[in-house]
């Protein structure tokens, strides 16, 4: 396939964290981009600032689980990239039903319409969490899925439906399984922005359990380039892991953020652990490397860039942080016996 096969693509969840960066990347190419986003607590038109009035961007507010909204959004599109999802593990432990509704049922509605309209590519953005915890080594795409929390279970269930549309109907699907991603515009409920914005607000970093849980940290631009690579060059019916080879235990990430912000090391506070907390994620990503992709941003460089952005954008994160506290942090920590203080 040549380098620009699509004239119009549908990006669901394009007003969220990774989706909004992907929309910017897609607009650098000569494409019409339709964004379908429900604008949940996690989505915002502010995330598309600078491109919202781009002549090739068409924004539709709507739910991927709503057939009428999907029918309108997908019309004339040759490709779909599905970012739309409920994405926070801690919220999935409190309210799993919303994760089934959007992540599983919403994906089904998209698949049905993609089949009906005959798209050339259906790229489903999944996660390395579908493998469950990987205590040693690294998961390969052929490994079985063992999701262990409601978020991961909903993402794995969605993947099974996606692949069933390949085997049953030959819908040209692709799946990416990215590792933990960070960067500007990430909601302050997630670990790295939570740590940064807490320190900037004079609050401690709550570190779950012993802090030795390990994640592989991928800068958002690298994740978006990986998805673009798979969209253009991936083989239908296949999954592609996206790793950064920047594995760090959470305590090391917290210490790096404390150091970069010149904060007091005592601002890292151990709190009770997340139930069913996966100890380690790791993926083997040579299949994607064979398509010509490699990450470009080290964890240190990415953290410095991310911190600089959050320092300059309290207007973006303050209200989100307050809302998350009211809606969820307080309940999350109270239920787990951790003292709660208003941020």
- Quick check: 215 binds ligand TYD (CB under 6 A)? yes
Q: Is residue 41 among the annotated active site residues?
A: no
Q: Which is nearer to ligand TYD, 70 or 257 (CB)?
A: 257
Separation of alpha carbons 285 and 245, rounded Å: 9
Smallest distance from the beta carbon of 125 to ligand NAD, in angstroms? 4
Separation of alpha carbons 41 and 60, rounded Å: 16
Q: Binder to ligand TYD among 35, 207, 220, 256 (CB under 6 A)?
A: 207
DSSP 45: G
Name the β-bridge partners of 34: 10, 58
Closest CA to 176 of 259, 240, 270: 240
**Owner of token pair 């990774």:** 18
Separation of alpha carbons 285 and 266, rounded Å: 37
Q: Is residue 151 among the annotated active site residues?
A: yes
Separation of alpha carbons 244 and 283, rounded Å: 9
Judged by beta carbon distances under 5 to 8 A according to partner kind, the member of ligand TYD, ligand NAD, none in contact with residue 207 is ligand TYD
Stretch that binds ligand TYD, among 10-18, 24-32, 206-214, 311-319 (CB under 6 A): 206-214
Q: Which x/- pattern, by CB under 6 A, does the window 273-292 give for ligand TYD?
A: -x------------------
CA dihedral sign of residues 48, 53, 58, 61: positive
**Owner of token pair 């209200």:** 319
Q: Which is nearer to ligand NAD, 19 or 172 (CB)?
A: 19
129, 159, 189, 222: the active-site residue: 129
Smallest distance from the beta carbon of 207 to ligand TYD, in angstroms? 5
Residues that bind ligand NAD (CB under 6 A): 12-13, 15-19, 36-40, 42-43, 63-65, 83-87, 102, 106, 125, 127, 155, 178, 180-181, 187
Judged by beta carbon distances under 5 to 8 A according to partner kind, the member of ligand TYD, ligand NAD, none in contact with residue 206 is ligand TYD
- Helices 67-74 and 107-117 cross at an angle (nearest 10°) of 40
Residue whose CB is nearest to ligand NAD in the complex, by number? 16
- Quick check: 244 binds ligand TYD (CB under 6 A)? no
Judged by beta carbon distances under 5 to 8 A according to partner kind, the member of ligand TYD, ligand NAD, none in contact with residue 215 is ligand TYD
Q: Which of residues 72-131 bind ligand TYD (CB under 6 A)?
A: 89, 129
**Owner of token pair 């799993």:** 96
Stretch that binds ligand TYD, among 97-105, 202-210, 221-229, 301-309 (CB under 6 A): 202-210
Closest CA to 313 of 203, 185, 146, 172: 185
Smallest distance from the beta carbon of 31 to ligand NAD, in angstroms? 20
The DSSP line for 65-123 is: T-HHHHHHHHTT-SEEEE------HHHHHH-HHHHIIIIIIIHHHHHHHHHHHT-SEEE
Structure tokens at 276: 């069913």
Smallest distance from the beta carbon of 17 to ligand NAD, in angstroms? 3
Interface residue list for ligand TYD (CB under 6 A): 89, 129, 180, 190-191, 194, 206-208, 213, 215, 250, 274
Give catalytic residue positions. Answer: 128-129, 151
């Amino acid at each position: 396939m040549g380098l620009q096969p699509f004239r119009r693509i549908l990006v669901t969840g394009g007003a969220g964290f990774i989706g909004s960066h992907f929309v910017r990347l897609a607009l650098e190419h000569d494409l019409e981009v339709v964004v379908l986003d429900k604008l949940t607590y996690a989505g915002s038109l502010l995330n598309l600032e600078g491109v919202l009035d781009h002549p090739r961007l068409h924004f539709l507010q709507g739910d991927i689980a709503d057939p009428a909204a999907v029918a309108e959004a997908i019309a004339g599109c040759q490709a779909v990239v599905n970012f739309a999802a409920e994405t926070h593990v801690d919220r999935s432990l409190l309210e799993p039903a919303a994760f089934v509704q959007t992540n599983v049922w919403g994906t089904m509605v998209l698949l049905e319409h993609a089949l009906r309209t005959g798209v050339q590519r259906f790229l489903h953005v999944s996660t390395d969490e579908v493998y469950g915890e990987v205590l040693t080594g690294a998961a390969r795409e052929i490994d079985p899925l063992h999701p262990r929390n409601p978020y991961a279970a909903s993402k794995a269930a969605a993947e099974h439906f996606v692949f069933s549309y390949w085997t049953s109907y030959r819908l040209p699907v692709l799946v990416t399984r990215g590792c933990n991603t960070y960067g500007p515009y990430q909601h302050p409920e997630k670990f790295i922005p939570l740590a940064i914005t807490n320190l900037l607000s004079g609050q401690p970093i709550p570190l779950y359990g012993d802090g030795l849980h390990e994640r592989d940290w991928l800068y958002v631009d690298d994740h978006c380039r990986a998805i673009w690579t798979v969209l253009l060059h991936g083989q239908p019916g296949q999954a592609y892991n996206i790793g950064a080879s920047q594995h760090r235990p959470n305590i090391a990430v917290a210490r790096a953020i404390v150091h970069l912000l010149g904060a007091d090391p005592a601002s890292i506070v151990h709190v009770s652990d997340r139930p069913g907390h996966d100890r380690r994620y790791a993926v083997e990503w040579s299949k994607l490397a064979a398509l010509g992709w490699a990450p470009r941003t080290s964890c240190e460089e990415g953290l410095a860039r991310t911190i600089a952005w959050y320092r300059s954008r309290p207007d973006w994160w303050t209200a989100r942080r307050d809302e998350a506290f009211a809606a969820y942090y307080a309940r999350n920590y109270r239920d787990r016996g951790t003292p709660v203080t208003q941020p």
